[in-house]
Amino acid sequence: MLISQGPLRVSLFGGGSDLPAFLESNEGAVLSFAIDRRVFIVGHPFTHRAGIVLKYSQSEDVESATELKHPIAREVLSRYGVTDIDIAIMSDVPAGTGLGSSSSFTVAFLAFVRHMCGLISTPEDLAREACDIEMGVLHEPIGFQDQWACANGGVNVIRFASATDVAVEPVDLTPEQIGQLERNLFLVPVGSPRRAGNILARQSGNLVPGSRSEVLTRRMVEQVELGRTALRSSIDDLGPLLDEAWALKREIAEGVSNPLVDDFYAQGMASGATGGKLLGAGGSGYLAFYVPAAQHERFSNRFTKQLDFQITNQGAGVIHES
């Protein structure tokens, strides 16, 4: 039995600057952290039969990897020549909720398969190959941040000088600073799970040189350093920064927000939050609200459904083998 995992992530600032269209003419940066909500891959080799059984929201039973409908599993298993195996995919949070679960799956699946093949994997190995599979092979209209956030774990500034020139800068925070961030950031679900591709494709299409979307995204990159400073010295500054980030994000592409999201956001601000943003591409998912300590009870009385989390330094990898 082999089990691997990939943590989900919360992206605070800089989202969109990791898209290939922006990186053609600019350098990008994001500030994000991994959380203890994960995607799990569980599997074992067959001893009594041949073929591949893959269980996720569907169940597939095929003779070879090339017959799989799941595109990422098909590519990874075919690439490494893995067969005669039973694999189940599980997640703490549904896909399509803005926490990077798609790329977390890819990274965790790579960690699982590479370990089966006797290969040692660094976070860079996993992140780069996940990007290659998702964007280079499958041509998903996504960015580069989620793969690196999942593979590394922790709180990081991730810089993109280009699509391939990536630097991960851990943000050193004290246990008390980590605790403040965990206590003051509230994740509130809104809407139903969705696919990010359409919104991200529109956003990428708007990021032409000289466009207003490019200018707005550059401002979002500038917020990364402001956010890091807030985490280290003045955490209550996060609220207004997130509020600005959300205003910028809404301007960049159609479909990022909608009346339901706007209503939830207004209610959050009226219930003590000083800022927030919708995580992921937009449309639905989790709203991340910054709520100062004095307003916690008031906010929680209004939003009784929240996603509890802790920040984790554990990046993707194998967690059990027997």
Domain harbouring 86, CATH code: 3.30.230.10
What residue type is assigned to position 56 of the chain?
Y
CB 104 within 8 A of CB 134: no
Is 48 among the domain residues? yes
pLDDT attached to residue 194: 62
Q: Domain containing 12: what range? A: 2-171
Q: Which of 111-115, 148-152, 191-195, 282-286 has the lowest mean pLDDT?
A: 191-195
Same domain, 151 and 179: no
Residue 253 reports pLDDT greater than 80: no
Domain harbouring 254, CATH code: 3.30.70.890
pLDDT attached to residue 197: 64
CB 165 within 8 A of CB 180: no
Q: What is the pLDDT of residues 5-23, one digit of tens each?
A: 999 999 999 999 999 999 9
Alpha helices in the chain (DSSP H): 20-23, 71-80, 101-116, 123-131, 145-152, 175-184, 197-206, 212-233, 238-252, 259-270, 296-302
Mean pLDDT of 26-45: 97
pLDDT attached to residue 297: 98
Same domain, 151 and 265: no
Mean pLDDT of 201-226: 89
Final residue before a domain boundary, out of 146, 171, 196 = 171
- Interhelix angle 71-80/101-116, nearest 10 degrees: 20
Final residue before a domain boundary, out of 171, 195, 211 = 171
Percent of the chain with pLDDT over 70: 98
12 three-class SS: strand
Is 248 among the domain residues? yes
pLDDT attached to residue 133: 98
Both structure tokens of 22: 């922006």
87 three-class SS: strand
Q: What is the pLDDT of residues 107-155, one digit of tens each?
A: 999 999 999 999 999 999 999 999 999 999 999 999 999 999 999 999 9
Same domain, 155 and 13: yes
Both structure tokens of 133: 């599979």
| DSSP 8-state secondary structure symbol assigned to residue 120 | -
Total domain count for the chain?
Answer: 2
Residue 281 reports pLDDT greater than 90: no
Residue 196 reports pLDDT greater than 80: no
pLDDT classification of 195: cutoffs 50, 70, 90: low
Is 318 among the domain residues? no
In which element (H, E) is residue 303 found?
none
Same domain, 209 and 65: no
Residue 1 reports pLDDT greater than 70: yes
> What does the alpha-carbon distance between residue 286 and residue 283 come to, in Å, rounded to a whole number?
10
Residue 37 reports pLDDT greater than 70: yes
